[in-house]
C-alpha cells in the first residue's frame, strides 16, 4: 500500500510531511512515534480498540444505498457511508478512540484537542469522559458562536472549552493554541490532533485510525454488489475522513478518488479554503504540505460556511496524492453545499453535516455523468444537527440555537 510504504520513511509522503515543530515538543513527539510504532502492531491494543469501535462507537457504520437520489440524478448508483451514525455523530470518534487509548498506554492523564465545527472536540470530550481523563478543548471564538450547541455538549461531557480570540478565531488559531498549550505541558498531556495533519506520527496515525472507513466500504460493497466502487467522494478540510475513505482504494487504480474542498464564496474571491486548488507548498503546523498563503509565507485568513473545512492547509498525504494525480480535488461553494444540504434532506431524509454536504454536492454533479452500472460511494462524515440553525440563518430565517 502506497501510504504505508511512504509513511515508514519517517513520515514523508513524497516531499510532504516531516516534523517541523519547536524543540520543546520534539522529545514528546518522538516518544509518541515510538509508542505508536509499538502499539500499531500489538494485537491486544488492536483488540481493545476494535472492541470500543464496535461496542461504544457503533461500528461498522452502514453502507446505505440512496435509491431516491440515484433515481433522481439518473446516473451512477449512489451509496453513502454513514459515519454520521457513529456515536457522537461523525467519523472523528474513530481517531479519538485510537489516540486516547494510546495516550492511556503512555501513562497520560489529560488530553487536549483543537476543534473547528466542534465534532472533534465533542468526540474527544466523550472518550475522555469514558476513560476518566481530564480534557481541555481549544476552539476559535468565531466557531464557538456558530457552533454554540457543541460548546455546551463538550462542557456537559466535563471538558473545559477555551475560546480562542487570536487571528481569525477559527480552526487554524485553535490548532496554534492547542500546540502552545502542549508545549507548556507534555508530561501528563497528549494532544489529540483531529486530522491527518501536524508532525509525524500524526498524519500516519490518524489515517491508520480512519482507514477503517474504507476497509468497511470495500467489504460491504463487495458483499452487496461484488464490485469495487468507481468513485469515492469525500469532503476535505485537514482531510481525515477523506484519507479514511480513500485509504484501502489507493492501490485500486480503477477507483477514482475525489476530495471536495471548501470553495466558500468562490475560488476567485479571497473567501475560500480551497488549498489544493489555490495553495502552494509551505511549512506550517508541523508539516510540509500545501497551504493558502501569501508570497512571504504568511498564512491566509481563509473562509468557509463550514467550520470543519475552514482551514488554510491540508494533510501531507493529500498533497502527495494530488501531486501524483492519484486523487482529484474539486472546489464546492457555500451555495452548492447548502443546496446539497437541503437536497439530501428531502431526497433521503438525512440531515448531513454541512462539511459532508460539500461531497454530496459533487455527487450531484458527478452521478448524472456516469453510467447506471457504475458506483459512487460518498462518505457522509457527520450529521447535520449542529448546522440546522446556521443554515436557517443563511437562508434568511431568524432562528437561533
Please list the active-site residues.
92, 114, 381
- Residue nearer to other proteins on the CB measure, 18 or 98: 18
Which residue of 21, 66, 197, 231 would you call a contact of other proteins, by CB under 8 A? 21
Instruction: Based on the shown chain and the rule CB under 8 A, indicate whether residue 27 belongs to the binding site for other proteins.
Output: yes
**Closest by Cα among 164, 386, 197 to 288:** 197
Instruction: Based on the shown chain and the rule CB under 8 A, indicate whether residue 290 belongs to the binding site for other proteins.
Output: no
**Closest by Cα among 113, 139, 3, 64 to 375:** 64
- Residue nearer to other proteins on the CB measure, 177 or 351: 177
Which residue of 13, 284, 329, 362 would you call a contact of other proteins, by CB under 8 A? 284
**Per CB under 8 A, which of residues 28..47 are in contact with other proteins?**
28
Q: How many residues form the binding site for other proteins (CB under 8 A)?
A: 36
Q: How far apart are CA 366 and CA 164, in angstroms?
A: 38
- Residue nearer to other proteins on the CB measure, 10 or 254: 10
341-344 long-range CB contacts below 8 Å, 24 or more apart? 341/384, 341/387, 341/391, 343/69, 344/69
The answer to whether the beta carbons of residues 58 and 86 sit under 8 Å apart is: yes
Instruction: Based on the shown chain and the rule CB under 8 A, indicate whether residue 283 belongs to the binding site for other proteins.
Output: yes
Which residue of 282, 308, 316, 382 would you call a contact of other proteins, by CB under 8 A? 282
The answer to whether the beta carbons of residues 142 and 304 sit under 8 Å apart is: no
Helix (H) or strand (E) segment spanning residue 76 = none
Q: Which stretch binds other proteins (CB under 8 A): 117-125, 293-301, 321-329, 367-375?
A: 293-301
Which residue of 2, 109, 163, 183 would you call a contact of other proteins, by CB under 8 A? 183
Q: Which stretch binds other proteins (CB under 8 A): 128-136, 233-241, 286-294, 314-322?
A: 286-294
The answer to whether the beta carbons of residues 235 and 334 sit under 8 Å apart is: no
- Residue nearer to other proteins on the CB measure, 170 or 356: 170
Shortest distance in whole angstroms from residue 285 CB to other proteins: 8
Residue 267 grid cell: 475560488
- Residue nearer to other proteins on the CB measure, 184 or 325: 184
Q: How far apart are CA 372 and CA 370, in angstroms?
A: 7
Q: Which stretch binds other proteins (CB under 8 A): 282-290, 338-346, 362-370, 380-388?
A: 282-290
Cα–Cα–Cα angle for 358, 239, 245, nearest 5°? 80
Binding map of other proteins across residues 141-180, x = CB under 8 A, - = no contact: -------------------------xx----xx--x--xx
Pairing relationship of beta strands 16-20 and 12-13 according to DSSP bridges: antiparallel
Q: How far apart are CA 351 and CA 334, in angstroms?
A: 16
Instruction: Based on the shown chain and the rule CB under 8 A, indicate whether residue 295 belongs to the binding site for other proteins.
Output: yes
- Residue nearer to other proteins on the CB measure, 41 or 298: 298
Instruction: Based on the shown chain and the rule CB under 8 A, indicate whether residue 297 belongs to the binding site for other proteins.
Output: yes
Instruction: Based on the shown chain and the rule CB under 8 A, indicate whether residue 107 belongs to the binding site for other proteins.
Output: no
**Closest by Cα among 235, 204, 142, 198 to 313:** 198
The answer to whether the beta carbons of residues 135 and 159 sit under 8 Å apart is: yes
Which residue of 211, 293, 304, 381 would you call a contact of other proteins, by CB under 8 A? 293
Burial class of residue 11 (count of CB atoms within 10 Å of its CB; 0-12, 13-18, 19+): buried
Residue 93 grid cell: 470518534
Helices and strands counted in the chain (H then E): 17, 14
Shortest distance in whole angstroms from residue 131 CB to other proteins: 25
Helix (H) or strand (E) segment spanning residue 97 = helix 92-105
Shortest distance in whole angstroms from residue 31 CB to other proteins: 10
- How big is the chain by its Cα radius of gyration, in Å? 19
Instruction: Based on the shown chain and the rule CB under 8 A, indicate whether residue 273 belongs to the binding site for other proteins.
Output: no
List residues near other proteins by CB under 8 A.
10, 18-24, 26-28, 166-167, 172-173, 176, 179-180, 183-186, 280-286, 291, 293, 295-299
Amino acid at each position: 500500500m502506497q501510504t504505508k510504504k511512504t509513511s515508514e520513511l519517517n513520515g514523508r509522503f513524497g516531499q510532504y510531511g516531516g516534523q517541523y515543530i519547536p524543540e520543546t515538543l520534539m522529545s514528546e513527539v518522538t516518544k509518541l512515534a515510538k509508542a505508536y510504532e509499538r502499539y500499531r502492531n500489538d494485537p491486544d491494543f488492536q483488540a481493545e480498540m476494535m472492541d470500543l469501535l464496535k461496542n461504544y462507537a457503533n461500528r461498522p457504520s452502514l453502507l446505505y444505498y440512496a435509491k431516491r437520489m440515484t433515481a433522481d440524478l439518473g446516473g451512477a448508483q449512489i451509496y453513502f457511508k454513514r459515519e454520521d451514525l457513529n456515536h457522537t455523530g461523525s467519523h472523528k470518534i474513530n481517531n479519538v478512540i485510537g489516540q486516547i487509548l494510546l495516550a492511556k498506554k503512555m501513562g497520560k492523564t489529560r488530553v487536549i484537542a483543537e476543534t473547528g465545527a466542534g465534532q472533534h472536540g465533542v468526540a474527544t470530550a466523550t472518550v475522555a469522559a469514558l476513560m476518566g481523563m481530564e480534557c481541555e478543548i481549544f476552539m476559535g471564538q468565531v466557531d464557538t458562536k456558530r457552533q454554540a450547541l457543541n460548546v455546551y455538549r463538550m462542557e456537559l461531557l466535563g471538558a473545559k472549552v477555551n475560546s480562542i480570540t487570536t487571528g481569525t478565531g477559527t480552526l487554524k488559531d485553535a490548532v496554534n493554541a492547542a500546540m502552545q498549550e502542549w508545549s507548556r505541558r507534555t508530561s501528563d498531556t497528549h494532544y489529540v490532533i483531529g486530522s491527518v495533519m501536524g508532525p509525524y506520527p500524526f498524519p500516519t496515525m490518524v489515517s491508520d485510525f480512519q482507514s477503517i472507513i474504507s476497509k468497511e466500504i470495500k467489504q460491504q460493497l463487495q458483499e452487496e454488489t461484488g464490485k469495487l466502487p468507481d468513485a469515492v467522494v469525500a469532503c476535505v478540510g485537514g482531510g481525515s475522513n477523506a484519507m479514511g475513505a480513500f485509504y484501502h482504494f489507493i492501490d485500486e487504480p480503477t477507483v477514482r478518488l475525489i476530495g471536495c474542498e471548501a470553495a466558500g464564496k468562490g475560488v476567485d474571491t479571497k473567501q475560500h479554503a480551497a488549498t489544493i486548488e489555490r495553495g502552494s507548498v509551505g511549512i506550517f503546523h508541523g508539516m510540509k504540505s500545501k497551504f493558502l498563503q501569501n508570497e512571504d509565507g504568511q498564512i491566509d485568513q481563509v473562509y468557509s460556511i463550514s467550520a470543519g473545512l475552514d482551514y488554510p492547509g491540508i494533510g501531507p498525504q493529500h498533497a502527495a496524492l494530488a501531486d501524483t494525480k492519484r486523487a482529484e480535488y474539486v472546489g464546492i461553494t457555500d451555495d452548492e453545499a447548502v443546496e446539497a444540504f437541503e437536497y439530501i434532506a428531502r431526497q433521503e431524509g438525512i440531515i448531513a453535516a454541512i462539511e459532508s454536504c460539500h461531497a454530496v454536492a459533487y455527487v450531484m454533479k458527478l452521478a448524472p455523468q456516469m453510467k447506471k452500472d457504475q458506483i459512487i460511494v460518498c462518505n457522509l462524515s457527520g450529521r447535520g444537527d449542529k448546522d440546522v440553525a446556521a443554515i436557517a440563518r443563511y437562508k434568511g430565517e431568524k432562528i437561533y440555537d
